[in-house]
Structure 1
Amino acid sequence: MLNPQIVIDILNSQLVPLAAWLKDKTVTEIMVNPGGHVFVEAAGTITYVGQLLTEHMISTAIKAVAKHVRKDARANTNSAIVNASIDDLRISGALSPVSPGGSFITIRKHQDAGDRPTMEDLINKKQALTAKQAQTIEQLVLHDRNNLIIAGGTGSGKTTLLNALLNKIPGHERIITIEDSREIQISVPNFIPLLTNPDEGISARDMVKMAMRSRPDRLILGETRGDETYDLIRAFNSGHPGSISTIHADSAEEALGALEMLFQMSLPANASISSELARGYIAKSVKVVVFVNRSIEFSDGQARVIRKIQEICLVKGVINGNYVLENVA
């Protein structure tokens, strides 16, 4: 495993043409496509900035990232695909010929805690939600302590909303977060961040079980996506009201469907439950679903990313096998 600073040094040496964007705090994503074509997202606008990198530069960077996670990146093997968090960067990429047109790499930059948008920023600067919507979410989750699922696609702003909301939590509460990379940054004093490491056998399921034994007032799972789902839903139902997670889905209703599927897939060995009972259990556990939509508008040859809260749904129960939702957005 390479020391993170060594990896950063290799990245800086191979990605010199990207240096300005790596330092720019307004830049959130750098996308290097096959052939070295680079797109940058800054302040919500995606811009093509040119063909800046060679195949050698990209592949060397990917191999350095692979070494950081104890892999030896080689073409035509599963090690040709890498995902890792290094300092404030989330890096994913693949070598050619897994990517037939050439190697590619995507770098997502995590903002420093002081630079992350507050709820007020999301209202006034980002126009991601209205003041009334923010008040509704805060009342339902922070004050009434309903369990929340934040749904949306990749890059829709789920974690941004989560961070803004968590920084409104009263300081006396004990918060435990579980992530695979450090994206949640909150300022409450009684705060325990936990990181999974599947390559070393530390799974999200293990972390959820440990968190439940560590007396959290609220349990925060950065993303629900695997065999931790069963334990998460149990945690939602066992004395941790106001807990939160995110999930990839294209609507509030689809979020519950995705959660149900993951719940069924993560049941203990030899256990089974009917779809009807699973839906009832989920509807009892998750009381609020917020859907954040991501769309792209084109103007003057540039693509602007628009992120907005589209649904704030109360989960009222299940009737005739269907979830009953009330949109209060």
Structure 2
Amino acid sequence: MPATDRTTDRTTEHATVVDGRLRTAVARRLREDDDLLAGGGDRSALRRAIARALAAEGVVAAPDVWARLVRDLVDELGGLGPLEALLRDPAVTDVMVNGADEVHVERDGRLTVTSVRFDDDAHLLGVLRRVLGPLGTRLDRAHPYADAVLPGGVRLHAILPPLATRPTLTLRRVPAVVPSWDQLEAVGSVPGDLRGLLLDAVASRRNLVVAGRAGVGKTTLLARLLAEVDRDRVVVIEDAPELRHPAPHTVHLQVRPATPDGVGEVDVATLLRNALRMRPDRLVVGEVRGREVADLLQAMNTGHDGSMTTVHANGADEAIVRLEGMALLAGVPIDAARAQVAAALDLVVALDRDRDGRRQVAALVEVDLQRDGAGIHVRWSR
């Protein structure tokens, strides 16, 4: 049968959705392909095996159609299906799937709906379970949500009914290269006069927090700042490997989720306590979310100057309130929490988006210790 009869002509977003019958037939042949099993199942071996399976199915097509068909089947059977075409676009940073027939992306700071589709929710769920299986991550009715980092650094979060109305998937891609200061200035994110203040903050070992809402570029700016650290020994703690181009002398620590049986979890707080025994000059926590903030504040207050982290908040004031609240949850009394935050922090860099969706630094504020807690003074703002 010609390839055009075996595929659905939906070439939106530069992708072709492979007909389910052909996908099933090729998948059956792959399970019986000894060369694929012996080759370890990498993408190149899968591509060759799919070509053999298509030939065995009697598929005949022009070279360009054949190449596209093989690519789409590799995506379907070894990747994220139709979403792979979106991830091939370097401008796409986030992909959001709200059920099989609703897929959104973020490009250049703007959210747009795409015409990419899965066959149905069962197809979407099958893709999720296939990519999560080799990672040892469970996704089923008993455990209807999952977080994972896919090969290549794409962060995945999935949640299923009954916790969500339909299977819902969110992908976030970490930039492969940390943007330069000139690039950040060119897009309006970090103006030239602010660059000098930030470089001075790193060189003078100021403790700082990068604050902002989700998706405003907190990790990107943190990575740029970390790249400016010279010879200090830096211990980086993350729940996913996003800070991949750090200072020259860097040790990476990564959290470990619990197994499906609920054992073996290692959280940020545990890694922080280990990091303090590793003779760090600076500590960098990819994001503080809870009780680990108490350990980080103590470290900042006891000689680990130049430490950095990020926090979800709408601005500098809100960032300080959030940090104080997390310290309270860790059991620190309110007066001590306020004093520790004020004494530990030197600077808060607040990020936001402009009306066109572009990410930018909104303000740089200095923090000082006052009688009733942290006081802030604006050093730079738009």
Query: Above 0.5 in TM-score?
Result: yes
2:248 pairs with 1:186? no
Structure 1 residues 7 and 313 mapped into 2: Cα distance closer, same or farther (>3 Å)? farther
* Residue 197 (structure 1) aligned with residue 263 (structure 2): no
Provide the rounded CA distance (Å) in 2 between the counterparts of 1:93 and 1:118.
32
**TM-score, normalising length: structure 2:** 0.74
- What are the Cα deviations for residues 138-175 of structure 1, in whole angstroms up to 9, with x where unaligned? 212x12211001111111110010011111111x2111
Pick the aligned partner of 1:309 from 357, 361, 365. Answer: 361
Q: CA deviation at 1:7?
A: 11
1:249 aligns with 2:249: no
Q: 1:252-299 CA deviation, whole Å, 9 max, x = no partner? A: 0111111011112123xxxx52x22321121010111111113553xx
CA contact (8 A) 1:65 1:84 kept: no
Gaps of 5+ in 1: 298-304
Letter in 1 for 2:288: T
2:169 corresponds to 1:105 = yes
Q: Is the 8 A contact 2:209 2:345 kept in 1?
A: yes
The sequence identity of aligned pairs, in percent, is 27
- In structure 2, the CA distance between the partners of 1:296 and 1:46, relative to structure 1 (3 Å rule), is farther
Kindly indicate whether the alpha-carbon contact (under 8 Å) linking 1:119 and 1:161 is maintained by their aligned counterparts in 2. no
Aligned position for 2:155: 90
Q: Secondary structure at 1:208's aligned position in 2?
A: helix
* Equivalent-residue separation in structure 2 for 1:253 and 1:293 (angstroms): 14
TM-score, normalization: structure 1?
A: 0.85
Q: Does 1:218 align with 2:269?
A: no
Alignment pair present for 1:31 and 2:96:
yes
In 2, the alpha carbon distance for the partners of 1:208 and 1:163 equals 19
Q: 2:348 matched to 1:283?
A: no
Cα 1:286/1:71, change in 2 over 3 Å? same
- Change over 3 Å in CA distance of 1:7–1:220 after alignment to 2: farther
Q: Which residue of 2 aligns with 1:294?
A: 353
Q: Label 1:104 to 1:6 Cα distance change in 2 as closer, same or farther (>3 A).
A: farther
Distance in 1 (alpha carbons) for counterparts of 2:301 and 2:275: 14
Instruction: Give secondary structure in 2 for the equivalent of 1:36.
Output: coil
Aligned residue for 1:300?
none
Cα distance in 1 for residues equivalent to 2:274 and 2:240: 18
What is the match of residue 143 of structure 1?
203
Q: Is 1:59 the counterpart of 2:131 in the alignment?
A: no
**For residue 119 of structure 1, what is the aligned residue in structure 2?**
181
* Distance in structure 1 (CA, Å) of the matches to 2:42 and 2:335: 49
CA separation in 1, counterparts of 2:310 and 2:358?
19
Superposition map of 1:45-84 within 5 A: 45-53=110-118, 54-68=120-134, 70-75=136-141, 77=142, 79-84=143-148
**Alignment root-mean-square deviation, CA:** 2.2
Q: Distance in 1 between matches of 2:125 and 2:95?
A: 16
Question: Which residue of the partner structure matches residue 157 of structure 1?
Answer: 217
Whether the 8 Å contact between 1:148 and 1:244 is mirrored in structure 2 is yes
Instruction: Tell me what 1:174 maps to.
Output: 233
User: What's the secondary structure of 2:302's corresponding residue?
Assistant: coil
| Residues 81, 127 of structure 2: 8 Å contact kept | no
More strand by share: 1
Deviation at 1:111, TM superposition (A): 2.1
Structure-1 separation of matches of 2:184 and 2:161: 39
Q: Which residue of 2 aligns with 1:133?
A: 194
Structure 1 CA distance, aligned partners of 2:41 and 2:323?
Answer: 39
Of 17-26 and 216-225, the range deviating more from structure 2: 17-26
Between stretches 184-193 and 243-252, larger displacement belongs to: 184-193
Contact 2:268 2:292 in 1 (8 A): yes
Q: 4+ runs of 1 displaced by more than 6 Å?
A: 5-11
The residue identity in structure 2 corresponding to 1:222 is G
Structure 1 68/228 Cα, relative in aligned 2: closer, same or farther at 3 Å?
farther
Name which one, 1 or 2, has greater alpha-carbon Rg. Answer: 2
Residue 40 of structure 1 and its aligned partner are, at CA, apart by 1.7
CA distance in 2, matches of 1:103, 1:61: 11
**Which amino acid in 1 is paired with 2:341?**
I
Gaps of 5+ in 2: 1-39, 47-73, 259-263
Q: Give the structure, 1 or 2, with the largest relative contact order (CA under 8 Å, sep 6 or more).
A: 1
Would the aligned equivalents of 2:236 and 2:251 in 1 still touch at CA under 8 Å? yes
SS of residue paired to 1:96: coil
Q: CA deviation at 1:109?
A: 1.2
Cα distance between partner residues in 2 of 1:291 and 1:236 = 20
1:301 match = none
For the structure 1 residues 204 and 230, does the alpha-carbon distance in structure 2 shift closer, same or farther, using more than 3 Å as the test? Answer: same
Any idea what SS the aligned residue of 2:335 has? helix
